[in-house]
Chains A and B, each alone.
Chain A
């Protein structure tokens, strides 16, 4: 029984190491941040351009496997996803695989919304260490 547990542990550690090894390394001093809007901003009409900022790394379209690059993902009203798999793609997790550095949002309902950026590599997997911004909250007044 003990032997099986030890064996399972070895297999698990091996599996974790393998999964980690696949993640693209990020420069240690890289930083992703939301240039605009500011945390707490009031957005009339529920539409805006989100400016996506990146320091110490570069932007590349999906599929371009070069060192120290990635593409932006904008997370709207959701939490950070697991860091060891491809970032989901739906209305809460927007991919900018064309190398875009600004995101157009329209039709945000009145109320509070959260925005957060997360970089993904050529396969949409977060880097190691992951590059994500502070999560900000914006308010859309009734319209």
Chain B
């Protein structure tokens, strides 16, 4: 019983070390970094079946393509109709989570009629959110 207890403690210590190492892997972000959607505005009405531009705004931080590990940089991710993903792992990559790993600072998208949400989230050279995570306000647009 005592042995089991000790090995449990040892496992816990081991796990906490792994956890700390994992946590330490997240890239630090400047405390005053500010990410926002420059356009469209919250509540914007957008014509359906027509591509429209989304402009990515970022202050006190820089943009770098994926794989470029430079201090206080990252690349933009546009989250469409989804909540923010977990911050301690790679941002998913599908039609709801768009990566701009070439260092793009704007994009054109097309959405079907209806209400949609848009939110920006920075990711580091490994597509993992920074520490603290840098994300914009989530906006809702009305496509019709």
Chain A interface residues (CB < 8 Å from chain B): 35, 49, 51-55, 58-61, 63-64, 66, 68-69, 96, 98-102
B13, chain A: closest CB distance, angstroms:
39
Main secondary structure on chain B at its contact with chain A?
A: loop
Kindly state whether residue B78 has any CB partner on chain A within 8 Å. no
Report the Cα distance A54→B62, complex, angstroms.
14
Chain A residues near B57 (CB-CB < 8 A): 51, 101-102
Q: Given contact pairs A59-B63, A66-B103, A101-B105, enumerate 12 new A-B contacts (beta carbons under 8 Å).
A: A53-B105, A54-B104, A59-B103, A60-B68, A63-B70, A64-B64, A64-B68, A98-B71, A99-B62, A99-B63, A99-B64, A100-B63
Residues A60 and B64 in contact in the complex (CB < 8 Å), given A98-B73, A102-B57: yes
Q: B62 to A51, Cβ gap below 8 A?
A: no
Q: B62 to A58, Cβ gap below 8 A?
A: no
Q: A66 to B106, Cβ gap below 8 A?
A: no
Kindly state whether residue B56 has any CB partner on chain A within 8 Å. yes
B52, chain A: closest CB distance, angstroms:
14
Report the Cα distance A59→B38, complex, angstroms.
17
Chain B residues near A35 (CB-CB < 8 A): 38, 55
A98: contacting residue among B62, B65, B103, B106, CB under 8 A: B62
Report the Cα distance A122→B62, complex, angstroms.
15
Q: A64 to B70, Cβ gap below 8 A?
A: yes
Chain B residues near A51 (CB-CB < 8 A): 38, 55, 57
Chain A residues near B38 (CB-CB < 8 A): 35, 51
Kindly state whether residue B16 has any CB partner on chain A within 8 Å. no
Chain A residues near B91 (CB-CB < 8 A): none
Kindly state whether residue B93 has any CB partner on chain A within 8 Å. no
Report the Cα distance A66→B75, complex, angstroms.
14
Q: B59 to A99, Cβ gap below 8 A?
A: no
A95, chain B: closest CB distance, angstroms:
12
